[in-house]
Structure 1
Amino acid sequence: MPRLTSSPPHIRFFFPFFSYIPCVVFLCFLSHAAESQIQDQELQVLSKLRQSWQAPSSLDHWVASDSSSHCAWPEIKCQEGSITELNLVDLNINYSIPPFICDLKNLTKLDLSYNNIPGEFPTVLYNCSKLVYLDLSQNYFKGPIPPDIDCMANLQVLILAANSFSFDVPASVARLRRLRILHLYMSEYNGTYPEEIFGLSDLEELRLEYNKKFVPSQLTQNFTVLKKLRLFSMAQTNLYGGIPKTVSDMEALEHLNLGINPLTGEIPGSIFALRNLSDLYVYETNVSESIPQAVSAANLRVIDLSLNNLMGNIPEVFGQLKNLYCLNLEFNQLSGGIPEGIASLPALSDIRLSNNNLSGTIPPDFGKFSPLRRFEVAFNNLTGALPKQLCHGGTLFGLATMDNNLSAELPESLGNCSTLLEVMLNNNGFTGNVPGGLWMSQNLTALLLSGNGLTGELPKELSPNLTRIDLSNNKFFGKIPSTLSSWRNLVEFDASNNLLSGTVPAELTVLPSLTMLLLGQNKLSGNLPTDIISWKSLTTLNLSHNKISGPIPSKIGLLPVLTLLDLSDNQLSGLIPPEFGQLNLNGLNLSSNRLRGPIPAKLENAAYDTSFLNNPGLCASNPFMRINVCNAQSHRSSKTNLTLIVILAIAAAICVLLVVLFKSKASRKNRDRFDSTPKLTSFQSLNFTESNILSGLKEHNVIGSGGSGKVYRIMVNPSGEAVAVKRISNNQKLDEELEKQFVSEVEILGNIKHRHIVKLLCSISCENSKLLVYEYMENSSLDQWLHKKKRSSPIPGVTNNMILDWPKRLQIAIGAAKGLCYMHNDLRPPIIHRDVKSSNILLDSEFNAKIADFGLARMLAKPGEAVTMSAVAGSHGYLAPEYARMARANEKIDVYSFGVVLLELTTGREATDGEEGMGLADWTFNHIQRGKPISDVIDEEIKGSSYLDEIIKVFELGISCTATQPSDRPTMKEVERVLSKRGHSQENIRWVLPST
């Protein structure tokens, strides 16, 4: 029998492995088959989704392909071949969420933000059992959050912000125990929120801000559980009372925003000070000062407590917040000094302490240890010097210290700060010279140094971007340099009340952009330059209280937009040029000179009765002017004149008596019309009373009317000062919409101070009427100047055949753009106007544009975030397509409306007058698309000017602003920058024409 031998070792080793190969292959086959089946099912779901949403173009690539899996599509993420995330952001989805979306069995994240999805909260998502992350923000959901939302027990992220959810935030939200992020900001909640939210121990972000309809409440006293919370924001949520000390229990807090609330009391220093003291045992009494820093709130980066009613001192412990980046305490009632430690914080970049009652000196180390970008301490009672190293980090762009009691010389380091955009140091006590480099800071646009004791000579060169310089009320001396012809972009130049000498140089007259030149109260002498034809944009010229001699140049009378002229208290001689009769002046003063001869006949009216005093050689044919009567010998004898004077005096007395009786009767009538105790709320210093306003609400004072009521022009004092009064009224009690418009206008304009936004002086509330009292705008609204058929409306001092030339139109466009830019970029929160149009752009006596009518304005949470409206409101022809279609509003709807205004300025047409049944925006765009010349649509009144290239570029900018897609439109900041540079270089306009 043969002997059996064992297999070789290597055979024995591999035999088991080979025996498993069929099993492995079989299992791989099954796994692949299962994965393929899952992918087929998911593809079917995606296909149904696309069909259900009627295939938005952004999902055209959702088509099955042999070359790639749907897991490679940009909106989708997969794990192990199955969909776990759908990121469908800003895809213009207009339809509700279908229930079969939960057939994606492994879906853990669903982001549908920035779409147009309507309806109530989608409870169909309850079937997405693995959902952990849900973002439905920036849509059109409305109604209540369902009380059974806690069915979605696995949720860790719930973002429902910027919708129209209303009623209460239900207590069931607080039963989602795994939540890490909860965003409910900017909706229409008109009830309460559950305090149990503050018991969610895993929360890292809690945002409830900009829900101003919340029932007024106090901050909870218990934050003990929120050990992980990094971001906490309840700005503008009707919080009242004090800030509880227990806020310090949020140990991980990085961002705290409680701004725009009526919070009162002091800022408790313990909020941000010591923690975990139970773990700290100190044996000695002389504890080192370094110990508190070691246990301080080291995580805080942003503190915003602005626009409250907080009092007391800024806590010293703020100086221990080593990671603090932004400290905003502006618009409170804080007092005391600025803690020294704050200046040494290594991360501090943005500090805003304006509009408080702070005193003492500014700590000198600001800027030394951190790269400051924004330093604002205006409108306080601060003393001492400005810190020397504010721009040490080379990033400072905003510096505002106006209206304090600061002194000493300006730091030389400011002359090396090339990043500065605006420097506002006015109304202090600074002395010495201005640092030489500051004049030439390459990005500087505004330099306000008025109301100080600064000295030195004016520079020979300026930054090319400077448009506004205010040096008034200082001690600058020497001649105005002849090299100032290089100051090409200067728009406003105020050097009044200084010690300037020499002549007014001829080179000053070649600045094409100059709108305001104020050189009064200096020591200027010699003759005025005669060739001033470049001053086509000049609206204000004040050379008073100097020693200027010689004749008045006749070409001043040819300046097309001059509205205010003051040459008083000089040594001017000769005749008043007859060309002055062509001016349309709101203010004229030629008094106290050596002028002679008759005044131009068109200036013989009561508006100028004090304009020619103390010129013995002047005369007028009108005996009621306060100067000599021309050819007096031909008049009646002095006896006859005396008789006439007596008769006139008696007649005047009778008129005064009748006026008094009439006013008394009207006052009683007005009191009958208003409830007995009308409430006046002032926002500015007033030189009139409510009775002045109420007695002026007469039909002959009406200057306009709109959907909400009439507008009156009312004289409030004997000197002729007028105000504009908008009366929002109804036969019955004010309806809800009118009440909303009144409240919106008061809330917004009451807190805004900007030279290109109309100033709200006060409001008066009565039972069936609401009165808004504004500064009076002498030149009415832009539409009355642009559109021929509206020119029959009376504008004081304006004839129907007057036109608005291009420099003035451009000035108006720039001013309006600056106002909107301020609303969008500089206010916190930003504001969208929602009704920008030419009739809401008002013009003062100098044709400065001011944005008006804020009844429809809304606040945003932050730039770029949309506000969901319950209804579309605005004006036909100006509505952005996405707003008109879906009631969705952010800053880009204002950009669209402003683009229409630019088209009005360049074409002269109205917003609805585009021919072929189209609005102006669509019609002009079609005109360009058809290849027709732009010059064909330019307004004939400006078409023949030398500015045609510039007009065309502004027209193109208007086309860009009215692009159909919001993302294709520039921002207002970009628009303002392009307009301010006048489009001289094609590089300045990035958005010439939208793509077809």
Structure 2
Amino acid sequence: MSVPCTYRRPSRRDFFHPLFLLFLAFPFSSCIAGEIDNLLKLKTALQKSDTHVFDSWTPNGNPCKFDGVICGLDGSVTGIDLSNNRLVGVLPLDSICQLPSLQMLSLGNNLLYGSITENLKNCTRLKQLDIGFNSFSGTVPDLSSLSELQVLSLNLSGFTGPFPWNSLKNLTNLLFLSLGDNQFDPSPFPVEVLNLRKLQWLYLSNCSIQGQIPEGIGNLAELTNLELADNNLTGNIPTGITNLRKLWQLELYSNRLTGKFPVGFRNITILTNFDASDNYLEGDLSELKYLTRLSSLQLFMNHLSGEIPQEFGDFKYLVNLSLYTNRLTGTLPQKLGSWADFDFIDVSENYLTGPIPPDMCKNGKMKELLVLQNNLTGEIPASYANCSSLTRFRVSNNSLSGTVPAGIWGLPKVNIIDLAMNQLEGPVTSDIKNAKALAQLLIDNNRFSGELPSEISEASALVSIDLSHNNFSGNIPENIGSLNKLNDLSLEDNMFSGAIPDSLGSCASLNVINFAHNSITGNIPATLGSLPSLNSLNLSNNHLSGSIPASLSSLRLSLLDLSNNKLTGRVPQSLIVDAYNGSFAGNPGLCGPDHFPACSSNSDRSVDSRTLIFCFVAAIAVLVSLLGCLAFMRKKKENEHEFSLSKDSWDIKSFRVLSFTEQEILNSIRQENLIGKGGSGNVYRVVLENGNELAVKHIWNSDSMGRKSAKSSTAMLKKRSGNPPEFDAEVAALSSIRHVNVVKLYCSITSEDSCLLVYEYLPNGSLWDRLHTCRKVELDWETRYEIAVGAAKGLEYLHHGYDRPVLHRDVKSSNILLDEFLKPRIADFGLAKIVQANGGKDSTQVIPGTHGYIAPEYAYTCKVNEKGDVYSFGVVLMELVTGKRPIEPEYGENKDIVQWILSKMGSRESVMGVVDSRIPDGLKEDAVKVLRIAVHCTSRLPALRPSMRTVVQMLEDAEPCKLISVAIAKDDPSLNKDEGVHDYDYDYEKKMNQSPEKLKHSPS
């Protein structure tokens, strides 16, 4: 171990000493050698890092020339700054703290791990310590000896356990203290902080502080930034905070603060950014009308009332205003946003009246205009037709009238136009061809009329179109099939006529088609059967004729409604299932078995000449077909022979020990082994020579998406570069996952043309099959409960047990497979997303998931996180409890199972009524426990949904009682009945699910 050197900075007298020049010629050689040794130990500890920062760190080099090393005038190492360098490893603090003059250690934003040892106490000269944004573990050691510290940054470092708050009392020189985003043990607001009178920056967000903010916070008069967000703070905002006259940023959001803004809040006159959103604050905004320097004001999700001060319209720096979900009344200041480069406004879900301010995009910088769910009146100001910077335009659920300025339809950057539930009229103009970024067009429940312009096909980014409940007429544009990203097409209750375009079969991403209550004629296009992702098809109450295409049999629909048309002929056998009861009513020309009229054999009809000619032509056609088949089979055998010689073209990657070869798999990919078709490919059952069974998914590539012809893995598909995204997503998500409730992926087999995934085979199909189709069986409540717990544990592992969270993004009952013992496995990861190491979430224009399971926030944000999976799982729980599908006609127009269940939460009797009648009365109380969990999971507010880890705990707490019968429980008053529905606050669940748009707008 090297001996620490003691340095003394040269004084003025030293420069006149006769030996000083000799001193400069040989400067502290032994000390420099010791410092190099300690620096090289740091390099060795982090040598696995993907960085070149250490290239200059050589044993014979000058440490003052090492990248990231700072030296003082005397040549001693005073600072190490290696932040943002992708460093990986454990810090050797025993070496670092032997640098005797070290004043700065900056290692933030790296990938460091391990614990911070007690050796930190030896870095007594430190003035700046920044190790934030890393992945350390354990607790923070005592900091008392670091009395010279001015900057301490430990935020988002992975620390847990108790924080040594007492050690802060010695750090009286601190100017900057950042400890947030660590899961410390819960504690009251640390009073030790109140003695740090020099503090200018205090960041304690998301570090488990609870209780009230003390009045003594006003003693920190030098504070310019105070952030206490994402904690469990209660009580009022203290009056002492009004003494912080230098404060320019105050962040208090996501706590449980109550009361009004304290009198004197107006005195914080230089306050620029203020965010107290997601609390329980009440009262009016009168104290804020004096804060003329405000740039960002975010108070959404509180209980604020009264009018928005008209003075806000004179704030010359205001660019962000977010007040949604309060109880505000009155009009919006008409000069709002007209001074600065206004960025966004969100005042949705209030009781505001009057017109939309016209000048918020005066400077051409506005990105988001969100005023939905108020009582606004008047016309949409013409000025917004020229607001080319807009990305979101949402004015739904108001009383707006008049025509929409034509330019709004064609805003070049807008990704959502939401005008629903107003009294707007006029046409959708051809300007929509310019809306190249438009993903969602939501204009239902208005008075729009005219024909839908064919130019809508040029808005190529469209994902969702909802024109329902308007007065549109004319034909559906034939070229609408060019919208290859389209997910939802709802034209219900208009006056559309003409035929359904065949081109819809090219919209490979379509999930929902709703053309109900129009005047559409002609046949149902057979091309609809080629839509691989279609989940809901409603063509009811039209004038459709002809037969039901057999191609619809290949679809896996949660909703099919062809009722009240003029359809004729035999109903395809595969569509005659309980799940589609009532789907064909009002078509007297349909026939079939069971409850349908018997189909006529026509055997007694005379055979006329036309029939004979037809038969003759048909016979010739059959003969030609047979000859073609013979030629095809000969060619097929040649191809198979050729394929058998090309084994080297296949690449197999195994993820488990294999008992088969790729050739054994490839030889079994045949039509007779096909057991399923999904949105991303065909699934085959393979029986190995040893009798074991496997499931093999053949992922369609981009060239075959939308064409349902089953191509074997031996067919040569069109050449492409790289694997399909569905394949990459599934392999990335499953290749290293090991969990009893996640389907096993054995290997992948790829060639230049094909992609195969080999799984374990689960003989009992999916939970959807068992609940809703002809394969359904009587699942007792104990089995349903075990399926719920097992599936929850599988998702919990994906979210929390993997090295990086995996978002499934398509959780539904058809993706929960059952083994021979009805134990569940989470399957089908075609949409899965592995969260990046930096914590970023996926962002996509395509709404992920399946209709009926999709979380409501995906209607207004492109961000995807794990709370979307939680919502979808909540829907699955509702299926298990009720036995019903996510979409049923009985729920009412435009409603799903979540809304239906919420409408039944008013009393114990109505809640018990939604439980599946096949569940015995004695177990319905247990089922309602699970239903309560499902309601929590499907909260409209993502922040209020539990994590999957919490869901598992809640489900385990709701385990059915197997030892005490319900009869005994009813007779014995001493037994605890609180776990049932007796004391349940039904209104709470309804309140929790009544807030649609809850996006946190951050000024950063």
Instruction: Describe how 1:842-991 pairs up with structure 2 within 5 A.
Output: none
Post-superposition offset of 1:261? 1.2
Shift of 1:795: 12
Tell me, in whole angstroms, the C-alpha distance in 1 between the residues paired with 2:452 and 2:861.
34
Percent identity at matched positions? 28
How far the C-alpha of 1:407 sits from its partner, in A, is 1.8
Cα–Cα, structure 1 residues 97 and 479, in superposed 2: closer, same or farther, change >3 Å?
A: same
Once residues 600 and 386 of structure 2 are traced to their aligned partners in structure 1, the CA distance between those partners, rounded to angstroms, is 65
Does residue 344 (structure 1) correspond to residue 314 (structure 2)? The answer is: yes
Decide whether aligned partners of structure 1 residues 48 and 493 sit closer, same or farther in structure 2, where only a CA change above 3 A counts. closer
Does residue 337 of structure 2 align to residue 371 of structure 1? no
Q: Which residue of 2 aligns with 1:937?
A: none
Specify the alignment match of 2:377 in structure 1.
407
Tell me what 1:126 maps to: 121
Aligned residue identity for 1:611: S
The equivalent of 1:553 in structure 2 is: 525
Q: How does 1:793-804 map to 2 (within 5 A)?
A: none
| 1:425 partner amino acid | V
Partner of 2:271: 300
Are positions 1:463 and 2:444 aligned together? no
Could you say if the C-alpha distance between residues 156 and 497 of structure 1 is closer, same or farther in structure 2, counting changes exceeding 3 Å?
A: same
Report the CA distance shift for 1:811/1:393 in structure 2 as closer, same or farther (over 3 A).
Answer: closer
Picking from 805, 812, 816, the partner of 1:777 is: 812
Structure 1's 815 and 853: CA in aligned 2 closer, same or farther, altered over 3 A?
farther
Match of residue 230 from structure 2: 236
> Would the alpha carbon gap of residues 252 and 756 (structure 1) be closer, same or farther in structure 2, given more than 3 Å must change?
farther
Task: Identify the match of residue 411 of structure 2 among 418, 441, 466.
Answer: 441
Letter in 2 for 1:518: S
Please, which of 153, 178, 187 is the counterpart of residue 159 of structure 1? Answer: 153
Paired residues for 1:163-562 under 5 Å: 163-192=158-187, 193-212=189-208, 214=209, 216-270=210-264, 272-274=265-267, 297-313=268-284, 315-460=285-430, 461-530=433-502, 532-562=504-534
Change (3 A) 1:741 1:571: closer
- Secondary structure in 1 matching 2:528: helix
Relative to structure 1, is the Cα distance of residues 821 and 245 closer, same or farther in structure 2, using a 3 angstrom cutoff? same
* Mapped contact 2:831–2:848 kept (Cα < 8 A): no
Question: How far off is 1:305 after superposition?
Answer: 1.0
The SS at the match of 1:222 is helix
Give the Å deviation of 1:86.
1.0
When residues 493 and 795 of structure 1 are mapped into structure 2, their CA distance, relative to the original with a 3 A threshold, is farther
Deviation readout 1:317-375 (Å, 9 max, x if unpaired): 32222332221111112222212222322222222111222222111122101222121
- Whether the 8 Å contact between 2:348 and 2:373 is mirrored in structure 1 is yes
Q: Which runs of 5+ in 2 are unaligned?
A: 1-12, 604-738, 744-765, 801-806, 833-841, 880-884, 888-895, 899-933, 944-948, 950-1004
Cα distance in 2, alignment partners of residues 339 and 21 from structure 1: 67
Instruction: Supply the AA of the counterpart residue of 2:566.
Output: R
- Give secondary structure in 2 for the equivalent of 1:264: strand
Q: Quick one: distance in 1 between partners of 2:592 and 2:561?
A: 16
Equivalent residues in 2 for 1:50-89, closer than 5 Å: 50-51=43-44, 53=46, 58-64=52-58, 69-80=62-73, 81-89=75-83
TM-score normalized by structure 2?
A: 0.60
Contact 1:46 1:62 in 2 (8 A): no
**1: CA distance, partners of 2:19 / 2:868:** 66
Between stretches 408-417 and 31-40, larger displacement belongs to: 31-40
- 2-structure distance, mates of 1:170, 1:523: 69
* TM superposition shift of 1:463: 1.0
Displacement after TM superposition at 1:457 (Å): 1.3
Distance (Å, rounded) in 1 between the aligned partners of 2:298 and 2:829? 47
SS of residue matched to 2:21? helix
Question: Do the aligned partners of residues 496 and 364 (structure 1) sit closer, same or farther apart at CA in structure 2, a change above 3 Å counting?
Answer: same
Q: Deviations over 1:289-327 (max 9, x none)?
A: xxxxxxxx23212211111122222x2232222332221
| Runs of at least 5 residues in structure 1 that lack an aligned partner in the other structure | 1-19, 275-296, 635-703, 746-754, 759-775, 862-868, 870-996
Aligned to 1:601: 573
Deviation at 1:516, TM superposition (A): 2.0
1:33 aligned to 2:26?
A: yes
**How many aligned positions are there?**
686
Q: How much has 1:705 moved relative to structure 2? A: 8.3
Judge conservation of contact 2:808–2:831 (CA < 8 Å) in 1: no
Distance 1:726 1:211, change over 3 A: farther
- Give the whole-Å Cα distance in 1 for the aligned partners of 2:48 and 2:519: 77
- The alpha-carbon distance between structure 1 residues 351 and 630, as it changes in their structure 2 partners (threshold 3 A), is same
Kept after mapping to 2: 8 A contact 1:241/1:265: yes
Distance verdict in 2 for CA 1:841–1:501, change over 3 Å = closer
Which residue in 2 is equivalent to 1:668? none
Give, in whole Å, the separation in 2 of the partners of 1:83 and 1:352: 48
- RMSD (Å), alpha carbons: 5.1
CA distance in 1 between counterparts of 2:862 and 2:538 reads 36
3-state SS of paired residue (1:310): strand
SS of 1:572's equivalent in the other structure is strand
* Number of the residue aligned with 2:723: none
Q: 1:101 to 1:383 in 2, by over 3 A?
A: same
Asked if the contact 1:328/1:352 (under 8 Å) is kept, the reply is yes
Q: What amino acid sits opposite 1:158 in the alignment?
A: L
Rounded Cα–Cα distance in structure 2 between residues aligned with 1:821 and 1:630: 44
Counterpart residue identity of residue 568, structure 2: R
Shift of 1:27: 2.9
Query: 2:779 and 2:517 mapped to 1: Cα distance?
Result: 30
Residues in 2 aligned to 1:151 and 1:416: alpha-carbon distance in whole angstroms = 61
More displaced stretch, 230-239 vs 581-590: 581-590
Separation in structure 1 between the aligned mates of residue 481 and residue 246 of structure 2, nearest angstrom: 61
Q: Could you state the TM-score of these two structures normalised by the residue count of structure 1?
A: 0.60
CA contact (8 A) 2:53 2:68 kept: no
Q: How far is the alpha carbon of 1:244 from its aligned partner?
A: 1.0
CA distance in 2 between counterparts of 1:232 and 1:811 reads: 31
* 1:240 Cα deviation from its structure 2 partner: 1.0
CA change 1:182–1:583 in 2 (3 A) is closer
Secondary structure of 2:194's partner? Answer: helix
Choose the corresponding residue for 2:106, options 105, 111, 123.
Answer: 111
For 1:347 and 1:540, how far apart are their aligned partners in 2? 44
How far, CA to CA, are the matches of 1:506 and 1:727 in structure 2? Answer: 49
What SS is found at the alignment partner of 1:223? helix
| Match among 539, 548, 554 for residue 567 of structure 1 | 539
Query: 1:14-25 to 2 correspondence within 5 Å?
Result: none
Classify 1:98/1:456 alpha carbon distance in 2 versus 1 (closer, same or farther; 3 Å): same
Q: What is the Cα deviation at residue 633 of structure 1? A: 13
Cα displacement string for residues 100-119 of structure 1 (whole angstroms, at most 9, x for unaligned residues): 43443322111133445555
Pair 551,91 (structure 1): closer, same or farther in 2 beyond 3 Å: closer
| Kept in 1: contact 2:523–2:547 (CA 8 A) | yes
- Matched residues in 2 for 1:503 and 1:589: separation? 21
Cα distance, 1:473 vs structure 2: 1.0
Contact 1:307 1:330 in 2 (8 A): yes
Distance 1:727 1:427, change over 3 A: farther
For the 8 Å contact 2:809–2:869, the answer to whether it is kept is no
Match of 1:46 in 2: 39
Decide whether aligned partners of structure 1 residues 230 and 385 sit closer, same or farther in structure 2, where only a CA change above 3 A counts: same
Give the deviation of 1:707 after TM superposition. Answer: 9.1
Aligned to 1:617: 589
Offset at residue 453 of structure 1 (A): 1.3
Relative to structure 1, the CA distance from residue 588 to residue 23 in structure 2 (aligned partners, 3 Å threshold; closer, same or farther) is closer
